[in-house]
A and B are shown apart, each in its own frame.
Chain A
Amino acid sequence: MAYKIILVTVCCMSLIGLIFRLVSIVRLGRVFERDRTSLVRRIFSCRIFFLDYGNAIVNTLFQARLFRAGKLRWLAHTLMLSGFAWLVFIHALDDWTGAYWDWYQPGIAPFRMMRNLAGAMVLAGCAAFLARRLKGSRINRERLRRGLRFRVRGTLSILVILGLICTGFMTEALNIMSEAQFNEMVEEYSGLAGEPELVHLKAYWALNYDVAFADGIPGQGIDLDEGEVFNQENCLECHTRPVTAFVSAPLARLGAPIGLWTAQFRLDRILYWVHLSLALTLVLFLPFSRMFHLLAIPLASLQRRMTPEKVQPDMGVLDLAGLSACTHCGFCSQVCSVYPDYQVSENPQVLPHVKIETLKRLAGIGVWDPATLIRLRSGNDDCTRCGLCADICPSGIDLVRLWTAAGRLMDRLGCPDNYTTAMDASFSRWMGKGESDFITVPGVPRGAAADAGPLSGLISDADAFEHCVQCTLCTNTCPVAAHDLVENDLGPHQVMNLLRLGEQDMASGSRMVWHCLTCYACQEICPQSIRVADILLELRCRGQSRAAELNLARLRGGDQ
């Protein structure tokens, strides 16, 4: 009874938590969307009939995407999930589900065995996950650089589940051994309480059911056949031999001495409540722990994928659910096409699994650190939208849509891309007032700064451009000059001239540098073999750093 009350209470609280969580997800959308659509409208904005039910079902039931991404991980996860599902429905909730089988009893053979099997599966899965986490393979440690927060949270969930299973086995073992429970059962279900014939039953149970009797069993005067008859009459309907509990039973046998000792303070009861508490903890914190992905992933998988024809940069409700569906598995970053950008820039926001967390946080609490926003902008702009991360994401999150929406979100948060910053900056702002205005943003590459050796190769090396005789062949052949005739400010030959005047910064802010198509027509035709296009690109690299600096300064509240 108490159990039922507690269970229902916890479930209600969990449900409230779930609703709270879902609402908060929807409210994330407020940051993404331009207009303040009402909550209700937003929820119902996803078109029910256009959802990808097939994908959601296949991914939820069979973890199809995880299977594609990594077979071993899928195995561990499937073991865990199916074992756990069984335990929830055919163990934890057996008061209700057991009613559908009139022959269901937790203590009889198939169900004992299945329960142990399920527990063992979950155990195997947990062990695999933990091993991977603790071992920290080279891929995990170096390539992914996960934050401590994720490591702790993720491991905590697994430890709770592990604890749940272990306490489950231990409880079952203790139940098997428990003399007190034997006595209770005898009292309640047989007429043998206090009778001298009980000893036969006791002996039978000591031998076959691994009960540990404090006083032991008398060596003489035991009739096991009599015991068996009593067993058949009173017990067998609900209890078959525990040997089918292939984990708990050996545990019981091995732990008999401990079992006897702990029987004094009814450890079996205590452990039962511990086991129950752990289970209820999981339920209670489901909306707020990693376990929430049980709900988030099916939701995310419902979303129809963005296609190049239908670029929808704003986030629907399901995409927001997708933000929460991330399990930090890191598959996305392992396949990320621009991983080399991360290697060189050391900007973790290049990596998808870091980006998504930052985005979620951004949507939740707004801009908490301008430098992080700048890094996110840089990392997201590095992304080529190749779609490999979205393909492999086991949670089914449409990452390409996310990254597209992220760009626009950052625009609205006052952090446009470097191109926009460069084009919008006034001349004096671009040039700055002095050296001190050039602040460094950690994690954003300096580009072609004078102090960075190879990157100043051409624009600081007079030999690279001084031979320009201003013949203007480059500008004449430039398609940007031809098709942006009125808007374009400098032809390539004029940029060369700026370099000859030592005005690298000025040149790096010109439209020509940012619009250059890199078609190399100028470089091919230059009679002096000047690497015109390479110089323009180097100036652009230099300009990227400057633009990021200006952005950061503006976000921090200064106006330079």
Chain B
Amino acid sequence: MKLAYFPGCKIHFHLRSYGEAVEAVMANLGVTLVRLPFNCCGNPARGKNLVASVLAAVRNIALARQKGLDIFTPCQCCFGQLKHGVYWYKTDPQIREQVDLALAEEGLVFKETQIRHLLDFLYHDLGREKLARRLKAPLPTHKIVLQQGCHALRPFSVTRFDNPFAPKMFRELAQLTGLEVIDWSKETECCGDPAAETNGGLALRIRQDKMAHARQAGADYICTACTHCQIQYDRISHDSEDGNKMDIRALPFALFLGAALGIFNEIENKGARNN
């Protein structure tokens, strides 16, 4: 199976280890990830210029469709933004007109294609049975809490990813690998990354609150499925002021899955930034 790989802007420079883990996992699952000259998904532009953010999203989709490929991304922000791009394109005729003109400059025409995030690829396209059969050995019973990631969950009417209040895909996939998923009240709350550059204090408070709750819940790890969430939790180990030694380590699900598939041996080391 071939999918167009959409890593998003952050993996390459800011979180290379996550991209490597995802690529290794997908290769193991027999998927060829095709690299296309994608641009930014448009999420950063969303708060500045709606048309630019829609064009950005839609161009990627048109590119993938041109090659007859579905899009696969490990970043939930990218996933949500690509879906939003389709929404705005379909809803607003003036945006559609502007975007069509810009696409035509390159000879591109918008046609929809499937947009898959890692989790819903594993759950729907691959399926739990097939995935279970490929697992080499269950993981040691790490206790994890899930950072579901808001941009894939909400608004449900646009993303259609999972139940936005009681999502199950992430949970079931994690449990499949042998992880013990603990309930916590912060599961569907935003990680706070969007505030990191502008309002560092807010981002910090959200992080600290998350950590406190994860500790209280008795988790060994926070498990993420989005580049931005992972970067946000990683900030704790790199911020100088926030030296709280009780912080819970966050690791992307791709790492756990890779370990369960027998690809990685030491997830702790692999999870280091740009390792």
Contacts and interface: CB of A to CB of B under 8 A. Distances in A.
B92 A340 contact: no
B45 interface: yes
A67 B17 CA distance: 26
B104 to A, nearest CB: 11
Interface in B81-100: 92-95, 98
Interface in A384-420: 384-388, 390-391, 400, 418-419
Contacts of A309: 238, 273-274
B154 A386 contact: no
Interface in A449-508: 453-455, 457, 479-480, 483-484, 487
A514 B198 contact: yes
A219 B194 CA distance: 93
Contacts of A435: none
Task: In the A-B complex, list the 5 residue pairs whose CB atoms are closest, starting with the nearest.
Answer: A387-B13, A454-B94, A520-B154, A519-B190, A386-B9
Interface string B12-50: 111100000000000000000000011110101111111
B9 A344 contact: no
16 contacts: A338-B40, A340-B42, A340-B45, A382-B45, A386-B12, A387-B13, A454-B94, A479-B206, A480-B202, A484-B202, A515-B198, A515-B202, A518-B47, A518-B151, A533-B155, A544-B47
Interface in A346-405: 381-382, 384-388, 390-391, 400
B274 A345 contact: no
Contacts of B192: 479, 483, 517
A521 interface: yes
A345 B49 contact: yes
A116 to B, nearest CB: 41
B204 to A, nearest CB: 9
Nearest to A513: B47
A524 B156 contact: yes
Contacts of B137: none
B242 interface: no
B273 A344 contact: no
Given A308-B274, A340-B56, A344-B52, A483 B206 contact: yes
A55 interface: no
A518 B46 contact: yes
B45 A341 contact: yes
Contacts of A515: 195, 198-199, 202
A521 B190 contact: yes
Interface string A523-541: 1100000000100011011
B40 A447 contact: no
Contacts of A537: 46-47, 50
Contacts of B94: 453-454
Given A524-B154, A544-B49, 8 more contacts: A336-B39, A344-B49, A386-B12, A391-B12, A445-B52, A518-B47, A521-B154, A544-B47
B202 A338 contact: no
A142 interface: yes
A524 B192 CA distance: 18
A337 interface: yes
Contacts, number: 156
Interface string A310-349: 0000000000000000000000000111111101110000
A454 B190 contact: no
B209 interface: yes
A307 B274 contact: yes
B154 A519 contact: yes
B189 A479 contact: yes
A479 B45 contact: no
Contacts of B48: 381-382, 418, 445, 447, 540-541, 544
B263 interface: no
A345 B49 CA distance: 8
B75 interface: no
A457 B88 CA distance: 11
B52 A340 contact: yes
B190 A340 contact: no
B236 interface: no
B55 interface: yes
Contacts of A142: 105
Contacts of A307: 274
A540 B53 CA distance: 14
A520 B42 contact: no
A384 B9 contact: yes
A534 to B, nearest CB: 9
Contacts of B154: 519-521, 523-524
A454 B95 CA distance: 6
B150 interface: yes
Contact of B195 (A381, A517, A540): A517
A344 B198 CA distance: 24
A342 to B, nearest CB: 9
A343 B150 CA distance: 29
A480 B203 CA distance: 9
Contacts of B40: 337-338, 340, 384, 386
A400 B151 CA distance: 26
B166 interface: no
Contact of B164 (A391, A487, A524, A538): A524
Interface string B204-223: 01100100000000000000
Contacts of B102: 340, 343-344
B59 interface: yes
Contact of A338 (B56, B95, B150, B189): B56
A308 B92 contact: no
Most buried by A among B10, B47, B188: B47
Contacts of A519: 150-151, 154, 189-190, 194
B32 to A, nearest CB: 22
Contacts of B105: 142, 343
Contact of B39 (A340, A448, A520): A340
B50 A538 contact: yes
Contacts of B189: 479, 519, 521
Given A515-B202, A518-B46, A540-B47, A386 B13 contact: yes
B64 interface: no
Contacts of A453: 94
Contacts of A400: 13
A308 B199 contact: no
Given A419-B198, A517-B195, A455 B51 contact: yes
